Amino acid sequence: MLRTFKNHYESLFHASPNAYILLTPDLMLVDINDAHLRLTGFERQAVLGRHLFEVFPVPGEEQERLLRDSFARVLSGKTEDKIYPLHYPIVHRNENGEVWEDRYWSVVNTPLFDEAGKVALILNHVADVTYLFLADDAGRSRFASLQDIRRAHLVLEMSAMDSERKRLRTLMEQAPGFVAIGRGPLHTFELANKAYYQLVGHRELLGKPVREALPELEGQGFYELLDQVYQSGKPFIGRAMPILFQQEPGAPLVERYIDFIYQPIFEQDGTVSGIFVQGHDVTEAYELSQQLSHQAEHDSLTGLLNRHAFGLQLEQAIRDLSGKDTVHSLMYLDLDQFKLVNDTCGHRAGDEFLRLIGMILRANTKPTDTLARLGGDEFGLLLENCPAETAGRIAEALRQAVRDVEFIWQNRVFGGSVSIGLVSFGDPVTNPADALSAADSACFLAKEKGRNRVQVYRQEDNDLVARWREMDWAGRLRTALKEERIELYAQRIEPLSNGAGKATHHEILIRLRGDDGVMVPPMAFIPAAERYGLMPSIDRYVIEKAFTWLAEHSRSGQVPLFLSINLSGNTLNDESISSFISEAAYALGVHPAQVCFEITETAAVANLTQTARLIGEIKEFGFRFALDDFGSGMSSFGYLKYLPVDYLKIDGVFIRHVLADEVDAAMVEAIARVAGVMGIQTVAEYVESRAIRDVLARIGVDYGQGYAIHKPEPLGSISLFP
């Protein structure tokens, strides 16, 4: 806007037919227009940057006194000053040397103000009135008295001012920005250009006070700004200020954003007589900048804050804690079911699921809470001035809200669940990264403990301390593989019908013998093995050991032996696993029909095409397959058409309560019936009592596995007789 104002000034200054020079307060030449150069015969580059009296040598003390007094009045009074007439000869240089020309001038010195209201420059306007003093043919002066001279000068000045006024109006009309002039304490419109009318709407303005012409500005603060500038004489600059206009009679108010300057108009005595208004409508640019700013701070998928903006909010909240006796709470939320939705139904479904979760979380938090999507299926929530107890209730409510979600995509129904890590902190807190890391660690532990739960961070929590040391597992597991300290255990699977037969069937389980000889349960090291990509190596180790045992005991000629061996999700992505299995069986003399490989439902569905291809390859050799933890993914039976499995192992979450919960009993019976129709046999996990075993047998489950049937024991110790 200021650049536009400068351009307008330069157009008026240089194109004017009147002679102007622009001076600093210490009388150095800043600029000179063409009319002045023609009048005085100088070159522009020869005068710029030089002192006024150096360019125009003073012919006498009187002339210098008159000019210096005029400039002093301009600087001290901040008002225009005139000299009538000024006898001031000027000097020219030609082939004859310096030639003085006798000249008479009309001089007007005008102050130009900076944004602080100080005189920044002096505009010096001179008119050559020498001809008024020339003698006629009879040797007489053209005017008889000084009064006649001044009267003639006034006529000339009024003519020049009229010309300038017309030129100024033309420039103002053509200006790309809006321009208006208000006079008097009521700010009565004296002038408004086309751009101003386009801004406020076509209405009568000229001759009306601003409060009458623009009544909708009442209460928006603009009347008060005008009054302030008028009374103080100091300009006001506004940047992208919102303003409401009624551009048509009876129409609703329209919001625009404007950059503008209110510049006071001073009279000769230094009083303010009006206000010059200039500016631009920057609504489109402002809205674009707001849009870009919003995009930079918000997640495009959910509309929530992004990780960067969340970090800034967290940083500010921590700064606000300084010296205060208050507590903030922070949650790290990680969805448990997102990968299943994304991998089963594609990224479009995953995106819609994330949008739905974002809406659920937003609906269950306050507008003042800071909610963000941190990336992937992870969210963050900052609760300021919220103690741990209150935050715990909120976290539990959020967990339940997500748990109640039912997401339907192409006739498939998915449930939702979320693991939440919660940390509460007061002053002092070192930095946002520590707070977020603590919440993340607690969220990790919530997943390790079974997911779909809230875990509160405590420094003394031994489980979290173990999480920080988890990186040690990578080296420990590699060492355990080399030293063969991963040991095989077995748990029997038996038919639930009376015709049990003589074959023995066991599932292979693994344990880790620690450096100190203490046996480590699988859930203490398998998550770390999965995270650090060691499960394929462990699976191959187990397959070799199990095949070796099976081959040795099958040669003894005792009862038929069958083993179930688990394959991890990471191993399913191993392109060479099928050839490894077939070659190991051939080398050790194991009949494929004696082996059933188990994969979890979640791992299978995560990459349905790859899993189906792998099962097909391995089954060609004669091996069997079981789908473990069936029902845990809240999926339909539809994908079973693409997975040629021989067994469904029903998730223990349904088996545990089959006696007391009719819904669980109905679920188990439905799975058994559908599996039977598809030619798939069923295995119930977690059979913990004789009563559960009897119910399962009655509703049609084929096999059972659990402590009521057999407790796991080392593979080398199991009985080969059922």
Q: What is the pLDDT of residues 433-447, one digit of tens each?
A: 888 888 888 888 888
> pLDDT tens digit string along 22-52?
999 999 999 998 888 888 888 888 888 899 9
Of 534, 540, 533, 535, the residue nearest 581 (C-alpha): 540
pLDDT band for position 3 (50/70/90)? very low
Report which of residues 710 and 516 the model is more confident about: 710
Which residues are identified as catalytic? 377
Residue 33 burial by CB count (10 A; 0-12/13-18/19+): exposed, middle or buried? buried
d(CA 248, CA 646): 76
> pLDDT tens digit string along 370-412?
999 998 899 999 999 999 999 999 999 999 999 988 888 887 8
Q: Which CATH superfamily is domain 175-287 in?
A: PAS domain (3.30.450.20)
Report which of residues 541 and 145 the model is more confident about: 541
* Whether the Cβ atoms of residue 439 and residue 422 lie closer than 8 Å to each other: yes
User: What is the DSSP code string of 441-509?
Assistant: HHHHHHHHTTSSSEEE--TT-HHHHHHHTTTHHHHHHHHHHHTT-EEEEEEEEEESSS---S-EEEEEE
CATH of 9-163, one of 3.40.50.150, 3.30.450.20, 3.30.750.80, 2.40.30.10: 3.30.450.20
d(CA 531, CA 471): 10
pLDDT for residue 719: 74
- Whether residue 10 has pLDDT greater than 70: no
Q: Give mean pLDDT, residues 583-589.
A: 91
Fold (CATH) for 301-468: Alpha-Beta Plaits (3.30.70)
Query: What average pLDDT is seen over the chain?
Result: 83
Fold (CATH) for 473-717: TIM Barrel (3.20.20)
CATH 3.30.450.20 maps onto the chain at: 9-163, 175-287
d(CA 444, CA 420): 8
The model's pTM: 0.42
Q: Which of 295-304, 337-346, 558-567 has the lowest mean pLDDT?
A: 337-346
| Tokens of residue 47, six digits | 């005068």
pLDDT for residue 301: 86
- Whether residue 345 has pLDDT greater than 90: no
pLDDT for residue 2: 39
d(CA 464, CA 235): 62
Residue with tokens 């030639």: 99
- Whether residue 579 has pLDDT greater than 70: yes
d(CA 436, CA 370): 14
The proportion of the chain whose per-residue pLDDT surpasses 90, expressed as a percent, equals 32
Instruction: State the first-to-last Cα distance of the chain, in angstroms, to the nearest integer.
Output: 93
Name, of 4-13, 169-178, 388-397, 711-720, the range with top average pLDDT: 388-397
Q: Give mean pLDDT, residues 471-496.
A: 86
d(CA 597, CA 393): 43
- Whether residue 1 has pLDDT greater than 50: no
pLDDT band for position 104 (50/70/90)? confident
- Whether residue 201 has pLDDT greater than 50: yes
| Burial annotation 531-540 (CB, 10 A radius, 16+ → b, else e) | eeebbbbbbb
Radius of gyration of the chain (CA): 45
pLDDT for residue 546: 94
pLDDT for residue 157: 55
The proportion of the chain whose per-residue pLDDT surpasses 70, expressed as a percent, equals 85
pLDDT band for position 369 (50/70/90)? very high
pLDDT for residue 162: 52
CA distances from 603 to 189, 412, 417, 572 (A): 76, 18, 17, 8
CATH 3.20.20.450 maps onto the chain at: 473-717
pLDDT for residue 470: 54
> pLDDT tens digit string along 241-273?
899 988 887 788 889 998 888 989 888 788 899
CATH 3.30.70.270 maps onto the chain at: 301-468
> pLDDT tens digit string along 114-157?
767 788 889 898 887 776 665 444 444 444 444 555 555 555 55
